[in-house]
Amino acid sequence: MTVERVMGAETEYGILAPEQTGANPTVLSAQVVNTYDTLFHRALRARSSSQWEYSSESPLADSRGGEMSEEQAHPSQLTHRAPVLTSEEIAAEALKESGLYAERLDWDSVTMNSILPNGARFYVDHAHPEYSSPEVTNPLDAVLWDAAGDHIAAQTVATIEVNATESGLPKVNLYKNNTDSKGQSYGAHENYLLKRSTNFDDVVAGLLPFFATRGIMIGAGRVGIGTKGEKPGFQITQRADFFERLVGLETTIRRPLVNTRDEPHADINRYRRLHVITGDANLSHYSNLLKFGTMSLVLNLIEAGQAPQIKLADPVAAMHTVSHNLTLAAQLPLAGGGTITALEIQGEFLDAARELEGDCDAATQQILDLWEQTLHLLETDLFALADRLDWVAKYQLLSQYVSQGLGWDNPKLAAIDLQYSDIRPHKGLYFKLVQVGRMKTLFDEATIEEAAHNPPENTRAYLRGKVISTWPEEIVSVNWDTIVARDPLGTDLYRLNMPSPSLFTKSSVEHLLKGEHAGDLISWLNGQNI
């Protein structure tokens, strides 16, 4: 067994125009996305007319069977429709005259998607700019290409700031956090492919106790208790207070611990995509590695029928309790009587994973050892993890101010909390901790920047990213599993379906990228019946 499986991340960034606090966030998000879109196309010295291919999106399919009707769905679930800015939302003349936006945009129906040369998608989702990383095959790569999104976000903010005077558009800040502390939450989602043959009831049973307690390792920390932070204090996670039920299809309302969206972007007979919405947005590489690595191991356990049989009396209440309990000693009621702690639950999953994995590769061993070491230090020496875990780093930093007499309801602490998540390297407190050696990293800046411009080499993301950078003017539309190109000399369209994430890798297609046209490549690949 191995920790390797197809996975990826989605990060919605908090957005704010400090000088125009009442600015429409959807307009600001469009400003961010289109600024970066223009940036990378200038680097390519070519325009692109490519759009997101919505025809293969199926956000209302449910893993429990059936499909929710559009009439029943909340508007935020209709992600198979291209988002647009209404005339009321858009300051039309200011945006048109700014020069920051791609000429291809139809200002009566502004598209807000950018497909990047690293195989990722950068777009407007629920009034936030969202970076969806390219699919990768292991947790370490998931961390790297997620960090690449932070680099892209920071580069975009810097560009907007430089051009603010000339463009007349407001400067913006982006934050890798999960709540505005006014009752709104936005996601940091994970995606994993797992075997379609796995009974979904077993998936739910295995994940509920794990999700209720994994925040002790992957929480980002938050000042304030409650969805609006109405109660003074500090808690381990940013997202816990916003979850209300066990299982469901929604992601922005009535949030469930286990999301049932069944949209694999792969062979639907072989795979389902587990859409995980319970995690925090992590800046720490180690928090992120634990997030992706332990999740992959737990899915191994579930697929093998070896997940610990732990049934909490109320997993949602347990998640809230765990997040609010900084001693990690809270006793969580079990359905059959008795209690258990978050550390004990995570320990049972770790023990089961060690037993299942047996002899394992180096990547899997790294996750197992990190999991074990983290649980040990959480129990015995919490602040020894301040150089690895986001919530512990933030808690240690804030505790210094509390020890000097500030109460947890002091606005200064909330401001420090927000500044930790600022994605600007010269402003964000996380980056300051890295710079002074108080936060460990797994990748240096040069490696992260490389991943911001280049796709993973061992998934179909390689082909997606490379066709965008090689033939930007010929690509009509792109999805995770689809590429559509036009004949530049005629009207023909060429469509490539990519149901297997493990095909169209660098080793198999790099030599084909020297052709004259994208259509020629697609025609050849279709002829190979790959």
Catalytic residues: 125
Taken in order 376, 294, 189, 426, is the CA torsion positive or negative? positive
Q: Which residues pair with 494 in a beta bridge?
A: 485
Q: How far apart are CA 93 and CA 234, in angstroms?
A: 44
Spatial contact of 129 and 33, defined as CB atoms under 8 Å apart = yes
Spatial contact of 278 and 209, defined as CB atoms under 8 Å apart = no
Q: How far apart are CA 295 and CA 406, in angstroms?
A: 37
What DSSP state is assigned to residue 189? E
Q: Is 82 exposed, middle or buried (0-12, 13-18, 19+ CB in 10 A)?
A: middle
Q: Residue 247: phi, psi to the nearest 5? A: -140, 140
Strand stretches in 370-489, DSSP E: 475-479, 482-486
| C-beta atoms surrounding 59 within 10 Å | 20
Spatial contact of 258 and 449, defined as CB atoms under 8 Å apart = no
Spatial contact of 356 and 1, defined as CB atoms under 8 Å apart = yes
Q: How far apart are CA 330 and CA 208, in angstroms?
A: 17
Longest Cα–Cα distance in the chain: 72
Q: How far apart are CA 496 and CA 529, in angstroms?
A: 10
